Amino acid sequence: MTLAHALVYVIDDEMSMRKAIGRLLESEGYSVEMFPGAREFLARPPHGGPSCVVVDLNLPELNGLDLQRALAESGRVEQLIFITGGASVPTCVQAMKAGAIDYLSKPFRDEDLLGAVKQALVRASEQRVKSS
Amino acid sequence: VSQLTICFPRVRVGGDIVITRAAAIWGVPLKIATAVMIVDIPIEIGLNPIHASEGLFVLASIIDITERRQAELEAARQRNELAHLSRVTLLGELSGSLAHELNQPLGAIVTNAGAALRFLVRDTMSHENVREILEDIVAEGRRAGEIIRGIKGMARKKDPIRQLVAFNDVITGVIRLTRSDALVHDCTIASELDPMLPKVEADVVQLQQVFLNLILNAFEASQEVPRTQRQIIVRTERDDERTVLASVRDFGPGLPAEAPERVFDQFYSTKKEGMGIGLYIAQSIASAHGGTLYAQNAKGGGAQFFFRLPAFSKVDV
């Protein structure tokens, strides 16, 4: 099942990983937009429909947690899914406490990412129903 | 010349050693004949002229330096052991971020392959798509292999081998190896490498070790300052015609002002679990290569380490 008008953002400074995640999501019929960094993503106007963000925790400059904070501060409601190549447990706990849907360690199982994305988009569309 | 010292490796034990006339005529080149070889013994020959009223005498001494030579070899062996120990410790410090570094290509491979399988099931993939995905998988597999090779070289215990090395390549390799560690420490590395830098004659692994030391220390020092300040600058330049110079600079709290050179002392460490041999070994590597490693506080804050090595020139051959 894919949600109509749903959009998944992928933020990873590693092009190879970004492309791979993009392909995986597209193979399941999602629309995907990719960014090499959090700044580039924040510069884009928010999507009108339900959306979620798959983001690498260890990004240079603005990292995943910074992005989470920046989104919260500007009142944006995008759901976040973190991926990590080996982030410390405290960092992941912090991310989850701040409301992330999930965090996945690379290399992760396709089902895990797709499951988390689905959950994030469902939550996003519920929020939209609530707020409208 | 009060003493002439000649080392020659082969003498016949208990046999005749003929020092042709040299004992009688000082100043004439020595000719030494050895008889049938049985055992190799390193010896040192000393000749001292003694002017007496009866004429010129020469006092000849032949010393068996087997023990001294063995002690030297033993010292070199211990130095290599310690260098290896220090390298393994460095790799240990890096292991967390090396795992991260490996998970990157592994993650891309697994996810790409997963995407391809799904495309196949849905029958929605063009040949062009398949080719692109497979190419990426191959490239990432190679990348993982390179990371492993880099670590293996450092971990391996072998005698140093001198060869012609491009300083810049060594530095670029070490920066790549520490990329994830830089992210973990919120540091950025800027490199300003002179593309025309002459090569040096050195052991690659030991050079890597020196730079790995300097860069990991710079990460460590940067933890004392705010994130925006955590920058590391690695430079190479030609110091003069015969010397290349590399420097690693951080913007941390700097070296102990009263005695900056103390950081090179054995067992000096600011790390909780540090053994304090990293910089000590790095300095001994520099001097074993005919170079120097020293440190000073940089203008504008932070520490700067300078690694100087003789440039290779064809004239030396």
Between CA A107 and CA A110 the distance in angstroms is 9
The burial class, CB within 10 Å (0-12 / 13-18 / 19+), for B29 is exposed
Q: Does B118 touch chain A (CB under 8 A)?
A: yes
Pairing of strands B18-19, B4-11: unpaired
pLDDT at B23: 44
- The closest of B49, B139, B141 to B102, measured between CA atoms, is B141
pLDDT at B275: 62
Q: Region A12-30: what's the mean pLDDT?
A: 93
Q: How many CB pairs under 8 A join A and B?
A: 85
pLDDT at B30: 47
Q: Are B258 and B270 in contact (CB under 8 A)?
A: no
pLDDT at A132: 62
Of residues B150 and A6, the one with the higher pLDDT is: A6
Q: Are A14 and B104 in contact (CB under 8 A)?
A: yes
pLDDT at B8: 47
Q: Is the pLDDT of residue B306 over 80?
A: yes
- B110, B124, B180: residue with CB nearest A107: B110
pLDDT at B273: 60
Q: Does A60 touch chain B (CB under 8 A)?
A: yes
Q: Is the pLDDT of residue A93 over 90?
A: no
Q: Is the pLDDT of residue A61 over 90?
A: no
Lowest model confidence (mean pLDDT) among A73-77, A121-125, B122-126: B122-126
Cβ within 8 Å, pair B136-A16: yes
Instruction: Tell me the whole-structure pTM to 2 decimals.
Output: 0.69
User: What's the per-residue H, E or C state across B94-108?
Assistant: HHHHHHHHHHHHHHH
- The closest of B104, B201, B84 to B146, measured between CA atoms, is B104
Which of A52-56, B145-149, B277-281 has maximum average pLDDT? A52-56
- Compute CA distances B102 → B95, B115, B151, whole Å: 10, 20, 11
Reported as a single tens digit per residue, the pLDDT across B86-142 is 888 888 888 777 888 888 899 999 999 999 999 988 887 788 888 999 999 999 999
What's the gap in Å between the CA of B236 and the closest CA on chain A?
24
Question: In chain A, which residues have their Cβ closer than 8 Å to the Cβ of B115?
Answer: 20, 23-24, 26-27, 110
The structure tokens listed for B82 are 């310690």
Reported as a single tens digit per residue, the pLDDT across B65-80 is 888 888 888 887 887 8
Q: Is the pLDDT of residue A34 over 60?
A: yes
Reported as a single tens digit per residue, the pLDDT across B211-253 is 999 999 899 889 889 888 899 999 999 988 889 999 999 999 8
B18 contact partners, CB below 8 Å, separation of at least 6: B32, B33
Place of tokens 């110091």: B239
- A28, A60, A108: residue with CB nearest B107: A108
The burial class, CB within 10 Å (0-12 / 13-18 / 19+), for B71 is exposed
Cβ within 8 Å, pair B119-A27: yes
Q: Calculate the dihedral angle through the C-alpha atoms of B85, B86, B89, B90, rounding to the nearest 10 degrees.
A: -140
Query: Mean pLDDT for chain B?
Result: 81
pLDDT class for A116, splitting at 50, 70, 90?
very high
Q: Does A24 touch chain B (CB under 8 A)?
A: yes
Q: Does A80 touch chain B (CB under 8 A)?
A: no
Q: Does A112 touch chain B (CB under 8 A)?
A: no
Between CA B214 and CA B207 the distance in angstroms is 11
- B100, B108, B114: residue with CB nearest A86: B100
ipTM, interface predicted TM-score of the complex: 0.88
The burial class, CB within 10 Å (0-12 / 13-18 / 19+), for B272 is exposed
Q: Does B120 touch chain A (CB under 8 A)?
A: no
Question: In chain A, which residues have their Cβ closer than 8 Å to the Cβ of B100?
Answer: 58, 85-86
B90 CA to centre of own chain:
13
What radius of gyration do chain A's Cα atoms show?
A: 13
Written as one letter, the residue type at B247 is S
What are the backbone angles phi and psi of residue A106, rounded to the nearest 5°? -70, 140
Residue of B nearest to A86 (CA): B100
Q: Does A66 touch chain B (CB under 8 A)?
A: no
Between CA B181 and CA B97 the distance in angstroms is 5
Q: Is the pLDDT of residue B316 over 80?
A: no
What's the gap in Å between the CA of A48 and the closest CA on chain B?
27
Reported as a single tens digit per residue, the pLDDT across B16-32 is 344 444 444 445 444 44
Pairing of strands A31-35, A7-11: parallel
pLDDT class for A86, splitting at 50, 70, 90?
confident
Sign of the alpha-carbon torsion through B142, B147, B149, B152: negative
Question: In chain B, which residues have their Cβ closer than 8 Å to the Cβ of A28?
Answer: 118
- Compute CA distances B150 → B52, B101, B274, whole Å: 66, 12, 23
Q: Does B109 touch chain A (CB under 8 A)?
A: yes
Of residues B288 and B269, the one with the higher pLDDT is: B288
Question: In chain A, which residues have their Cβ closer than 8 Å to the Cβ of B105?
Answer: 16
- B106, B115, B183: residue with CB nearest A24: B115
Q: Does B95 touch chain A (CB under 8 A)?
A: no
Question: In chain B, which residues have their Cβ closer than 8 Å to the Cβ of A106?
Answer: 103-104, 106-107
